[in-house]
Structure 1
Amino acid sequence: MNDMHMADALVSPPVAVAAGVSAAILLAISANKIKKNQTDHIVPLMGVMGAFIFAAQMINFSIPGTGSSGHIVGGVLLACVLGPWAAFLTLTSVLIVQCLMFADGGLMALGCNILNMGAMTCLVAWPLLYKPLMKRCASFSRILWVSILTCVVGLELGAVAVTIETVASGITVLPLAKFLWFMLPIHLAIGIGEGLATAAVIYVVQQYKPELLIQTKRHSPVRKRRSYAKVTLIVALVAFIIGWFSWVASSDPDGLEWSIAKITGHTEIATQHPAVVYQTAEQIQQSTALMPDYNTTYSGVVGAALVILITAGVSGLLRYKRRRIDEDE
């Protein structure tokens, strides 16, 4: 299960370094913005929303008539609750746990995966489409079409980025035009599925807990911390429940695997380069991946818990630094 999670076999060292540096810069910017604008309730929300997305990503849904499957990326939904920068940091935490703990996506390709799934959804599609098009207390029809449009654009941009990074690396036999021919339609279908799921969640939240949504917060007084604590607990419980039922996920190849198979006849491309950097990355990942390929029934629960701990730890550290700065001033 690695929809749009690139493997190291697709990425050359120069492309990996360029993507890694770009992702690190965006992470530094997001950390700085969160440190300046962080409110008390967002710390636990980042953790549990990350856990929720991790668990939801484990459930692949089949795409009728294709023999492929997909799962939500979750960047748009995260941005609706946390804002784009906190969402980007949270989704990055999910991708890091998936890479190191479960060997989902290559270690060298981690920077690419952060850009393709995190930046394209949280920092590009959401601010440019969802934010200006969505209105406060919008109707379900508006939530539906705006969510679908935003998710589709975010995933299509990610699919284009995957294709460009792969071709620019020059270490595979995947031609640009043919790769795009398969990647764009299949991720269009996945984007529609994610848009439907995102719209459903947002509509329910708008009906029962509208203050959780970023655009509603701007027009509403901040609710009591107890209210956020209750919601945080509920979301955490839902994340763990979803994690337990990850076994129902479709076994069909995901969008990236399906596209590669259509061109090469195989769902994966083996690393053919004996360079030390590939071997080192593989050895590191093998040593950290305690549950490779989500090979136990506890993977969803363990992963969700790890995302909560990592995200809460990072955001808590940022909050501590902000308070120290305020005290010094």
Structure 2
Amino acid sequence: MHMADALVSPAVGGLMLAASAGAVAYSAYKCKDELDEKKIPLMGVMGAVIFAGQMINFTIPGTGSSGHIGGGILLAALLGPFPAFLTITAVLLIQALFFADGGLLALGANIWNMGFYACLLIYPLVFKPIVKKGLNPTRITVASIVSVVLALSLGAFSVVLETLASGITELPFVTFVGLMIPIHLAIGLVEGIVTGGILVFVYKMRPELLESSFQKTKLPKDISIKKVLGMLLAFAVVVGGGVSLFASANPDGLEWAMQNVTGTTELEAKGDVYTNAESIQETTAFLPDYTFKSSGDDGSAVGTSISGLVGGGITLLLAGGTGYLIYAIKRKKEKSA
């Protein structure tokens, strides 16, 4: 559901960038008190997992469409809402800059649509109430499915509102929303099942991870999460470096809806703002569309694998480094006080 620059006007793009920047700043501030230092490596590893997971488009039967995980609910359940939002922001930033996945002008909208609703709204207001009577595999699964479906639907509706506010006349509101919501309900159902499966797996290995996020407590000092980290990292490597080769070639939910309305998955936009944003991405994106620049439209298997591994690695460093920086600033202030 990554929006391209042509789907937002400069005004809407700027407004959403400001809103998302505000949410990032607030999340970083809250992390000073709520980030568990033992979970800092998990921020990096989960960033790599989500980066790899978003490369896997799964087919939605009978539609000609596909979808990929958003990952916000998964991140929030393991890290807590504010570290999760910073982590999904790191994923989307790296995708836009280095892989030209999602526009730079639309970056704020993408962060809001895919991160804000899941991490800062749906997790505390829907996921947590469902499991408030106690974490167990059944409640975790139900909470995951309901939460992901709601978060993805809100994100899809926001895309429609953002195109409407941007004056994209090629995408009439009623027709566009009538396609966006149903297809993302289907995508959300699949992602919810996947999210529930991963969370149940982690819960059975180390229940304290989910419990600490739910209860806003720190992990006990005698608890080790190295085994969980190792398995999640291995998962990211296998998915990003191998399974990504088998991703569906069908357009994702947003592209599918656009194609059914306009006959194309891409719209054109003219103006200096769009030209400059495209020029920046052409300079920074060393693996555009997750393949080598020399591979042409068909791409290459090696380029895809390398993209998954390199992108996951960069995301791990950025997300984990962000967590470590916040923690280091907190410790420095504590010592000076």
Q: Identify the residue that residue 324 of structure 2 maps to in structure 1.
A: 316
1:213 aligns to what SS in structure 2?
A: helix
Q: Identify the residue that residue 249 of structure 2 maps to in structure 1.
A: 251
Please say if residues 82 and 214 of structure 1, whose CA atoms lie closer than 8 Å, have aligned partners that are also in contact.
no
Deviations along 1:204-250, one digit per CA (max 9) or x if unpaired, are 11212101114577498834467123322322222111111210100
The whole-number CA distance in structure 2 between the counterparts of 1:61 and 1:120 is 22
2:66 aligns to what SS in structure 1?
A: strand
Structure 2 residues not aligned, in runs of 5+ = 292-302
Does residue 179 of structure 2 align to residue 182 of structure 1? yes
Change (3 A) 1:72 1:221: closer
Q: Identify the residue that residue 89 of structure 1 maps to in structure 2.
A: 86
Stretch of structure 1 that moved more, 19-28 or 32-41 = 32-41
Q: Identify the residue that residue 40 of structure 1 maps to in structure 2.
A: 37
Structure 2 matches for 1:106-185, cutoff 5 A? 106-135=103-132, 137-185=134-182
Change (3 A) 1:221 1:304: closer
The whole-number CA distance in structure 2 between the counterparts of 1:156 and 1:215 is 28
Does residue 278 of structure 2 align to residue 282 of structure 1? yes
The whole-number CA distance in structure 1 between the counterparts of 2:218 and 2:103 is 44
Stretch of structure 1 that moved more, 201-210 or 104-113 = 201-210
Does residue 309 of structure 2 align to residue 301 of structure 1? yes
Stretch of structure 1 that moved more, 142-151 or 219-228 = 219-228
Change (3 A) 1:139 1:38: closer
Instruction: Tell me how many residue pairs correspond in the alignment.
Output: 324
Does residue 13 of structure 2 align to residue 16 of structure 1? yes
Q: Identify the residue that residue 327 of structure 1 maps to in structure 2.
A: 335
TM superposition score normalised by structure 1: 0.94
Change (3 A) 1:173 1:300: same
Q: Identify the residue that residue 101 of structure 1 maps to in structure 2.
A: 98
The whole-number CA distance in structure 2 between the counterparts of 1:96 and 1:309 is 13
Does residue 62 of structure 2 align to residue 65 of structure 1? yes
The whole-number CA distance in structure 1 between the counterparts of 2:4 and 2:316 is 25
The whole-number CA distance in structure 2 between the counterparts of 1:221 and 1:277 is 45
The whole-number CA distance in structure 2 between the counterparts of 1:217 and 1:17 is 34
1:283 deviates by: 0.5
Structure 1 residues not aligned, in runs of 5+ = none
2:225 aligns to what SS in structure 1?
A: helix
2:209 aligns with one of 195, 201, 212 = 212
1:139 deviates by: 4.1
Change (3 A) 1:136 1:206: farther
1:123 aligns to what SS in structure 2?
A: helix
The percent identity for this pair of structures is: 48
| Structural RMSD (CA) | 1.7
Stretch of structure 1 that moved more, 28-37 or 6-15 = 28-37
Q: Identify the residue that residue 242 of structure 1 maps to in structure 2.
A: 239
Structure 2 matches for 1:75-86, cutoff 5 A? 75-86=72-83
1:155 deviates by: 0.3
2:250 aligns to what SS in structure 1?
A: coil
Please say if residues 103 and 285 of structure 1, whose CA atoms lie closer than 8 Å, have aligned partners that are also in contact.
yes
The whole-number CA distance in structure 1 between the counterparts of 2:90 and 2:213 is 26
1:266 aligns with one of 240, 250, 264 = 264
Please say if residues 48 and 235 of structure 1, whose CA atoms lie closer than 8 Å, have aligned partners that are also in contact.
yes
2:3 aligns to what SS in structure 1?
A: coil
2:37 aligns to what SS in structure 1?
A: coil
The whole-number CA distance in structure 1 between the counterparts of 2:149 and 2:223 is 36
1:143 deviates by: 2.4
The whole-number CA distance in structure 2 between the counterparts of 1:15 and 1:52 is 30
1:66 aligns to what SS in structure 2?
A: coil
The whole-number CA distance in structure 1 between the counterparts of 2:213 and 2:274 is 47
The whole-number CA distance in structure 2 between the counterparts of 1:42 and 1:160 is 33
Q: Identify the residue that residue 294 of structure 2 maps to in structure 1.
A: none
1:62 aligns to what SS in structure 2?
A: strand
Deviations along 1:79-107, one digit per CA (max 9) or x if unpaired, are 00001111000000000011001000000
Stretch of structure 1 that moved more, 71-80 or 37-46 = 37-46
Q: Which amino acid aligns with 2:286?
A: L
